[in-house]
């Protein structure tokens, strides 16, 4: 799996609150353009975010499904984008002295992208996921300091 990490200067519960708000998904996931629906009970295992990826009029409609969740520690997702494929995305949270360390791991698991070597996947996933973590951090900090 390809891994990136960052430290967010807020408590774990603030970061987890952004992850568990399915409607915020398009605000931090690079490429997600529109949330059409969030299943009741998100982020329980098996629940989905129904999203679009890309710009109109070529936006692709698909879903992201929760594979596993441990409150305040882990969110494990399967992000689908057919016909390109699907990826396993794992977000792990750890309390650190400066706030919360977030580790985002991703690997293509289905479709044509799954056949690409990890080094090739890393060329586009590392910068994309670093930006996603930057956006996640911004949302978590804003949630901590709504007027700031």
For residue 22, give the CATH number of its domain: 3.30.530.20
pLDDT in tens, 39-72: 999 999 999 999 988 777 777 889 999 999 999 9
| Residue-level pLDDT at 3 | 97
131 vs 55, higher pLDDT:
131
Domain that holds residue 27: 2-144
- When pLDDT is averaged across residues 105-129 and rounded to a whole number, the result is 93
Number of structural domains found in the chain = 1
| Residue-level pLDDT at 146 | 64
> How much is the mean pLDDT over the chain?
93
| Residue-level pLDDT at 147 | 63
| Residue-level pLDDT at 58 | 78
pLDDT score of 143 more than 90:
no
First to last CA, the chain: 36
| Prediction pTM value | 0.92
């Amino acid at each position: 799996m390809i891994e990136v990490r960052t430290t967010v200067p807020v408590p774990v519960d603030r970061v987890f609150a952004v992850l568990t708000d399915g409607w915020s998904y398009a605000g931090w996931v690079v490429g997600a353009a529109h949330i059409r629906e969030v299943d009741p009970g998100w982020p329980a295992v098996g629940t989905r975010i129904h999203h679009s990826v890309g710009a109109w009029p070529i936006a692709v409609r698909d879903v992201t499904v929760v594979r596993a969740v441990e409150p305040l520690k882990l969110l494990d997702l399967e992000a689908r984008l057919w016909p390109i494929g699907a990826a396993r995305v794992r977000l792990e949270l750890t309390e650190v002295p400066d706030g919360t360390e977030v580790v985002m791991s991703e690997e293509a698991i289905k479709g044509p992208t799954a056949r690409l070597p990890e080094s090739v996947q890393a060329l586009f996933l590392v910068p994309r996921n670093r930006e996603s973590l930057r956006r996640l951090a911004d949302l978590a900090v804003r949630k901590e300091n709504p007027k700031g």
